Chains A and B, each alone.
Chain A
Amino acid sequence: MSQPFSATLRIAVLFGKVGPALLSVGTLVLAWELYARLSGISPTTLPAPSRVLAQAIQQRQALFDNTVPTISATLAGFACSLAVAFILSMLIDFFKPLRSALFPLFVISQTLPLVAIAPLIVLWFGFGLTPKIMLVALVTFFPMLVALVQGYASTDRDISALLHSMGASRMRIFRLARLPSSLPYFFAGLRISITYAVVGAIFAEYAGAAKGLGIYMLNAKNNFRSDLVLAAVLVSALLTLVLFAATALIQRAAMPWERLDAARKS
């Protein structure tokens, strides 16, 4: 475990994983830079990436000030959505008819166009944190609920039968078998939802907010500063990546057996 070369080895492995991604992103940025410089297109229409980066650095204080509310809205909304999804998933697991009663409703909630719904929610609930939390919850709640319900259903029937034969109550079976069985599904849902969550928060801010990346983008656009719009996009993309990586790390810590399973299967 603690051989001297293992750190280097790990970095090499890591690079093997992220290398291709860096290469594809790098190529894209390079092509964009060349096009912006050589085609003679106006920087207000399409600023070069170098210019976006320079502006982002110059405006870092403003960007930072506007990122903090977006992060809090994202995390608060996501936490609410998780809590509600968890409680509802449990209820559905215990009372199956609830599923057919509620799922159509939730499916419909997923078809609502954000562009239409965001301004309405802001209109009803004001410029504060509440409408952002609601929008983030709206876009993340259903994927999390589906993931959890599916996860419970994936429980090995032999394990359930075994616990039943041992005299375990339904609640006990849920805690000992169904809940742990749902973890892989839960984390898959989490990774997808966390990206939706950032988009949801920005949308809500775009529709009206005192501060936030969404409102920052709107203002920049109104001032014909597409370079600042893109700088804010860059920040939101980085934010999403960081949250995504965080969920992956949490998953590794929460499911130490998973890598063993994967190693055995491959």
Chain B
Amino acid sequence: MRRIISVLMENEPGALSRIIGLFSQRGYNLDSLCVAPIDDSSLSRLTITTAGDDKVIEQITKQVNKLIDVLKISDITDGSHIERELMLIKVATRSETVRAEVKRTVDIYRGQVVDVTPKTYTIELTGTSDKLDSFVQTMGLTAEIVELSRTGVCGLARGEKSMRP
């Protein structure tokens, strides 16, 4: 089952490599990883999407939590939460019809065209991973996808709940 795990850790060199190393060392899935410092820049927040049965997920959270640099860990999947992923996708727009069709699809998905050249559109789209997947699929029917880049999921629990040091 797909899981979203949030991790608060020291913003130290080497900390990230320990997390990534742990996943490969213990044979856990690492589907996406999104990381950046938070308001207190001595800390970083990571969001990991992974998959596994309850036993595996329990091990992942325990093993990650055991890393010396890790302060807190929380599996936000079960509780009510917000998750977002950002994608930049470049498509070939060789004809006027394709351009119009691309624009229409972008509007439907509430994306934005952020760069235009005579032959390409670059689109920015934010949403759940499902939404991004669906956009890629739809776009593939309309125009040729030149390249794309996704940030991986980042997420927060809804409401009062928070993960602070």
Q: Decide whether A and B are members of one complex.
A: no
Contact surface of B with A, Cβ cutoff 8 Å: none
Contact surface of A with B, Cβ cutoff 8 Å: none
